[in-house]
Amino acid sequence: MLSEKNRLALTDIRDNARLAQEFLAGMTVEMLEADRRTFYAVTRCLEIISEAARRLSPALRERHPDLPWRAIMGGGNVYRHEYHIVAEAYVWRTVEESLGPLLAVTEDELNR
């Protein structure tokens, strides 16, 4: 059974992953480069996902060693402190290629 802390963190991850995917639905990386509002919104979703991943228990993360937890948790530092080097292509690729597996694990854990 999930602890309340894990359940809340997983819910934050799930909700923000879905939002990021929704915001980018139908967009190309070029479209994202031209749309500052969407870029900022998606980046904020990724920050929240990063922080929520930090709140997950080590035991929960260890159940899913195939996910790059260190990169997920460290991403928020890049978005907050190295924002000047965050490129739209990086954000787009993260949502398009990396959120699917994280979302699947999150939903699996929440449905246990």
> Residue 50 pLDDT more than 70?
yes
Number of domains in the chain: 1
CA–CA distance, 52 with 34 (Å, rounded to integer): 29
Q: 91: domain range?
A: 4-110
Please write the tens of the pLDDT for every residue from 59-108. Answer: 999 999 999 999 999 987 777 766 666 788 889 999 999 999 999 999 99
- What is Dmax (Cα atoms) for the chain? 44
Instruction: Look at the pTM and tell me if it is higher than 0.75.
Output: yes
DSSP summary character for residue 98? I
**Mean pLDDT (whole number) for 46-68:** 97
